[in-house]
Structures are given as structure tokens and as C-alpha cells.
Amino acid sequence: MSRLATTDLDRQNINVRVELADDVDRYLRQLEQTYDITDHMSRHPQMNGALRARMIDWMIEVLTNFKCDD
């Protein structure tokens, strides 16, 4: 990857398939319309603030261990 032809962001995201971005975005927006997520947290009473915080901490730990970028 030439430094002259790419940006820092391009080089950081070398594994991201840019040509698939529009298809992925379209698919995710279609899923949003297909599935009702209205008030989804009330359907999971075990998911309180403390558990969400632990899950986020765990995700950050996993991403850090695998040396993932933002």
C-alpha cells in the first residue's frame, strides 16, 4: 500500500472490505425494518446496568488482547 495513494485511515483499516460497505449497510438497515427492537431492554430484565457494564468491560478486554483498533 503506497503511502502516497492512501490515507492513515486506509492503512489502519487494511482488512476492511470497502467494496462491501454499501451492501452491508443496506442489509443492516433492512434488518432494522424487519425486526422490532422497540423497548427491547424491557424483555431482558436480567440485563441491568451492572451487567451491561461488565459486558462492555469484557468486550474491551477481548479487543485489547487481540490488539484490535477502534
6 pLDDT tier (thresholds 50, 70, 90): confident
pLDDT tens-digit series, residues 7-62: 776 666 666 666 778 888 899 999 989 988 888 888 888 888 899 999 999 999 98
68 pLDDT tier (thresholds 50, 70, 90): confident
Residue pair 12/18 in contact (Cβ under 8 Å)? The answer is no
Threshold 0.75, pTM exceeds: no
d(CA 60, CA 68): 9
In this predicted structure, what is the pLDDT of residue 1? 56
Residues 6+ positions from 41 with CB-CB distance below 8 Å: 47
